[in-house]
Amino acid sequence: MHILHDSEGVYVNLFIPSTLRWRQGEVAVPWRKSGSYPLGDSVTLVITTPRAKEFSVRLRIHSGPEANALYKRDEAHDVANSGYLRLLKREWRSGDRIDLQLPRKIKLEPIEPTHPDTVAVTYGPLVLFCLASDTPRVTRQELFQATRQGLDCDKWLVNTPSGPVQLAPFWAIEDQRYGNLFQSDRARMPLHSPKMVLIGRAPREC
């Protein structure tokens, strides 16, 4: 569940676009979450309420030390320090908003401590799958330099000497073979996908 609430306020666990309607005591407090996350970095939460009400908004900010939250009411604002859970407790009025910037970068995550060379490619909360019919030869450095193919695109491109390799989150996989684990060689740092799986959906262009 991406939002929980209790007698003190709400916990925001995930930042997918949505609309929330709940009551804080006797006051109805609807609000709306919007933005480009998880492909983009921005999230906006706008509160609407018939009258001012004090409660807590607890944000799970898990993107790393570069993440921040900006609370806005007219020209006043507070900058939130990054951390696992950020508390904003105040009297909220209709039209108050919280703007989040959650910058991410490509990371290689070992599947477990005992197998540090078997990694998945991640971008914030997203696991990126390699889209290829054959096992690609890709180095760690090439993966770290993967770039999105457009602001509204859900594909990343990895440039290699043997040609481009596409990465994508699971929901963007179509009629393609894919793999999500890479086995690294520390000497030359090549990565390869040990298994490709075929699913049948029509391909789509960005």
Looking at the fold, whether 141 and 62 belong to one and the same domain comes out as: no
| Any domain includes 39 | yes
pLDDT at 157: 92
pLDDT at 167: 93
Q: How many domains does the chain have?
A: 2
CATH of the domain at 42: 2.60.40.1180
| Any domain includes 152 | yes
* Lateral strand order in the sheet of 9-12: 3-5, 9-12, 53-59, 86-92
Looking at the fold, whether 10 and 96 belong to one and the same domain comes out as: yes
pLDDT at 64: 54
Looking at the fold, whether 128 and 160 belong to one and the same domain comes out as: yes
Over the chain (206 residues), the average pLDDT of each successive run of 10 is 80 84 85 86 88 88 56 49 70 87 84 83 89 77 87 87 89 84 53 40 48
Looking at the fold, whether 50 and 127 belong to one and the same domain comes out as: no
The range of the structural domain enclosing residue 67 comes to 3-101
pTM over 0.85: no
CB contact at 8 A, 54 and 40: no
Looking at the fold, whether 80 and 125 belong to one and the same domain comes out as: no
pLDDT at 128: 93
CA distance 123 to 163: 22
CA distance 84 to 60: 6
SS3 (DSSP) at 57: strand
pLDDT at 65: 47
pLDDT at 42: 84
| Any domain includes 203 | no
